[in-house]
Amino acid sequence: MPVSGGQRQRSKAETMRASGSRFWFVPPWDSVTVEEEMIVETIVIIAALGLFVYGISRFVHRITVYEHEHAVRFDRGRLTKTLSPGVFWIFSSQSTIQKLDARPQILTVPGQEVLSSDGVTLKVSVVVEYRIVDPKKAIMETSDYVSVLYSKVQTALRMFIGTKAIEEVLESRVELSESLRSAVSGDIESVGLSLNDIAVKDIMFAGSLKEAFSKTARAKHDAQAALEKARGEAASLRKLANAARIEVEEAPASGEGGAHGFSFRNGLGAG
């Protein structure tokens, strides 16, 4: 009697089990269909692709440099080039990309206690607008370019106010800003920065000094107002005197006028 495939597989498995083999079960490959083989092959291919992508992602990185950014590339620890905006692929084990913001940035230097030439202590705060123009210098020449800018502004501020009396400082805010600009802009070029603008934000005094300066300013304002009032009154008197003089000089020298003049003079004499 003919033997079926299932009987052959069972008899073979029983034979291997009887012989003491560990692998006593043999899959019935003769019964696998073509569709099942295709499914298995697809799974194997997908698994292989997944492993490949995982391996690539561990060693290759995709980095995007935007238009508002500067970027420099290091290969094996050495700075090699500056990157323009775009997409870059690097081997993470050998290369790194460091990015910096290229947009204008604001730095506020809060109230710095400085001493004027006449011994008055005041606090001056400054606002600085700057931007990075050379990323290589900003990275290689200093570990913190913001601290460099901060210290340069502080030094320039102390040097300027230390040579001025307090009244000169109050009257020369624009000059102070220009002096800070000229002193700071040249120094920060060495670390790759460009100074867009710098301005004095506030000048503050101690409570007693503030009250004294307020009284002085009020007194000056009142004196100026009184002076302007006196000048106005003097101008009005001059106008009246000039008008009277012109009227007398332009009076007609006729008999009637002479009589009037005679009567006027007689009236004066009578008075």
Per residue, the 3-state secondary structure of the chain, as one string, reads: CCCCHHHHHHHHHHHHHHCCCCCCCCCCHHHCCHHHHHHHHHHHHHHHHHHHHHHHHHHEEEEEECCCEEEEEEECCEEEEEECCEEEEEECCCEEEEEEECCCEEEEEEEEEEECCCCCEEEEEEEEEEEECCHHHHHHCCCCHHHHHHHHHHHHHHHHHCCCCHHHHHHCHHHHHHHHHHHHHHHHHHHCEEEEEEEEEEEECCHHHHHHHHHHHHHHHHHHHHHHHHHHHHHHHHHHHHHHHHHHHCCCCCHHHHHHHHHHHHHHHHC
Q: Name residue 91's beta-bridge partners.
A: 60
Among 83-97, 235-249, 255-269, the range with the most confident prediction by mean pLDDT is 83-97
267 pLDDT tier (thresholds 50, 70, 90): very low
Q: What is the mean pLDDT of residues 18-29?
A: 49
Answer with the residue of higher pLDDT: 262 or 54: 54
Using the predicted structure, report yes or no on whether residue 90 has a pLDDT greater than 60. yes
218 pLDDT tier (thresholds 50, 70, 90): low
Among 30-34, 204-208, 210-214, the range with the most confident prediction by mean pLDDT is 204-208
Using the predicted structure, report yes or no on whether residue 156 has a pLDDT greater than 50. yes
Predicted pLDDT of residue 122? 85
Q: Name residue 64's beta-bridge partners.
A: 87
Q: What is the mean pLDDT of residues 38-55?
A: 83
Using the predicted structure, report yes or no on whether residue 123 has a pLDDT greater than 50. yes
Please give the single-letter amino acid code of residue 239. K
Answer with the residue of higher pLDDT: 192 or 236: 192
Predicted pLDDT of residue 221? 65
pTM attached to this predicted model? 0.59
How many CA atoms, within 13 angstroms, populate the side-chain half-sphere of residue 29? 4
65 pLDDT tier (thresholds 50, 70, 90): very high
